[in-house]
Structure 1
């Protein structure tokens, strides 16, 4: 089984000790690719540095909506410079978070639009964080999707990371050209909507993720999540659709490769 964790933060301090063991466990679990997602200046640089150690680690760069109030024009210029680097596969984690509101909403909107513009200019997809903002962010993403050069290349324009909306909302994003990411929380007993989404969207529109170190699967709640656990997301997706886990793994790995514009060797090495 070949697995691709489409969203992680393994460059963070939570993994400062023991990262080689984390990667070894991921390899043993069948993980052949991991997106290492930045969210502020420090984590962006760390994602790029970590990804340089393995051809199967793929960095993304962006500014999280929590930190939007700290994003300056100079910071946006630096972000665009990083996003143009060939090894960087996406702009993100970006978006709107109206649940915590750690930055003023108007600032979140402005910084999101600035980063969507960067993604259009560099021709890369976006990794979108949306919490309690699924209705509003759709309008921003509609304008972005219409401008993204990826549409003409048959590639997704982005991914709705750890999607927390409804199946009906998810379908609207897929129509825009996004894929939807299923996290390990699909295993939680009360998370019926995630299972509806996993069952109701085309398999071609789905990827899986851990969001490490956050959101571990049900049997590991309260513990640090890590890329090896993406298998739980795949198994949850497969169960929701009534298909074999191997088929779900093959499809979501292919979808992640198409999203990020990367390829994984058939005989992939260790992470």
Structure 2
């Protein structure tokens, strides 16, 4: 049984065939999913899906690209939603220095506020990192994020950075890129990070794994990620599926 820790079934790309996508995931052995919200509309949809399906949970947070749009009311709203029985994490949050919609200092302030909120409500956090590794690690340390821990979502850093994150009580989550033929670094991370600190995800509809690269991603494809990790580690698919599911349930406090 597989646990996809990061899906965006709240995206427009699933408007026409959401039910079929969910059924394909279940048929592929996906037993649990976390739908990640990152602004008002996607958070509302994430909650709606979590309430509609017993095997779907939600994470709520503010994306760094849109940090400039977040108001104090939004932060209060996140705090209220944190009490929802199906909300298992805050995020995705973090820093994104690739896009320049939100200035770096605004992103950092919004990131810090969300970590502080997570410590207050005692929920793990899901980290989005694009071209901002050093600042993310510094902020996580300064804000004592290890108290709640969380996920380095779609981890793209080095094995050394992965170890530093693990020391801060974070899990390393791998997605589609680990299946790409030329992706040396994710494969090295899959090899070196202990199975008890690994998670799997699709980040669907993005980052579609090989051999479907270029098409819309969906949760059923998380099996391809698990198979690749199993091959790299010399494990069976069942072993990787069981271990990563157990890790996710432990992190999110899910008893199923």
Could you say which TM-score interval applies, normalised by the shorter chain? Answer: over 0.9
1:190 maps to 182
Pair 1:89-2:88 in alignment: yes
Q: 1:77 to 1:170 in 2, by over 3 A?
A: same
* Partner Cα distance (2:228, 2:101) in 1: 32
Pair 1:204-2:203 in alignment: no
CA RMSD of aligned residues (A): 1.1
* Partner Cα distance (1:147, 1:60) in 2: 18
* Partner Cα distance (1:146, 1:73) in 2: 21
Aligned pairs for 1:130-169 within 5 A: 130-145=129-144, 148=147, 150=148, 157-169=149-161
1:153 maps to none
Deviation per residue, 1:218-271 (Å, 9 max, x gap): 21111110000000110111111111111111100111111111023xxxxxxx
Unaligned runs of 5+ in 2: none
Q: Deviation of residue 102 (structure 1)?
A: 2.4
Higher relative contact order (CA 8 A, sep 6+): 1
1:44 maps to 43
Pair 1:247-2:246 in alignment: no
Asked whether the 8 Å contact 2:196–2:247 carries over to 1, the reply is: yes
When normalised by structure 1's length, the TM-score is 0.92
SS of match in other structure, 1:181:
strand
Q: Deviation of residue 143 (structure 1)?
A: 3.0
Asked whether the 8 Å contact 2:96–2:128 carries over to 1, the reply is: yes
* Partner Cα distance (1:100, 1:49) in 2: 29
1:176 maps to 168
* Partner Cα distance (1:145, 1:183) in 2: 27
SS of match in other structure, 1:216:
coil
1:268 maps to none
Q: 1:146 to 1:18 in 2, by over 3 A?
A: closer
Q: Deviation of residue 146 (structure 1)?
A: 5.4
1:32 maps to 31
SS of match in other structure, 1:4:
strand
Q: 1:187 to 1:176 in 2, by over 3 A?
A: same
1:269 maps to none
Unaligned runs of 5+ in 1: 151-156, 265-271
Q: Deviation of residue 86 (structure 1)?
A: 2.2
Q: Deviation of residue 77 (structure 1)?
A: 1.1
- Stretch deviating more after TM superposition (52-61 or 76-85): 76-85
- Stretch deviating more after TM superposition (78-87 or 241-250): 78-87
* Partner Cα distance (1:35, 1:28) in 2: 17
Deviation per residue, 1:53-74 (Å, 9 max, x gap): 1111010000000100001111
Q: Give the aligned length.
A: 256
Deviation per residue, 1:135-157 (Å, 9 max, x gap): 11001111334562x4xxxxxx1
SS of match in other structure, 1:218:
coil
Q: Which residue of the other structure, out of 215, 224, 229, is the alignment partner of 2:216?
A: 224
Pair 1:259-2:251 in alignment: yes
Asked whether the 8 Å contact 1:145–1:177 carries over to 2, the reply is: no
When normalised by structure 2's length, the TM-score is 0.97
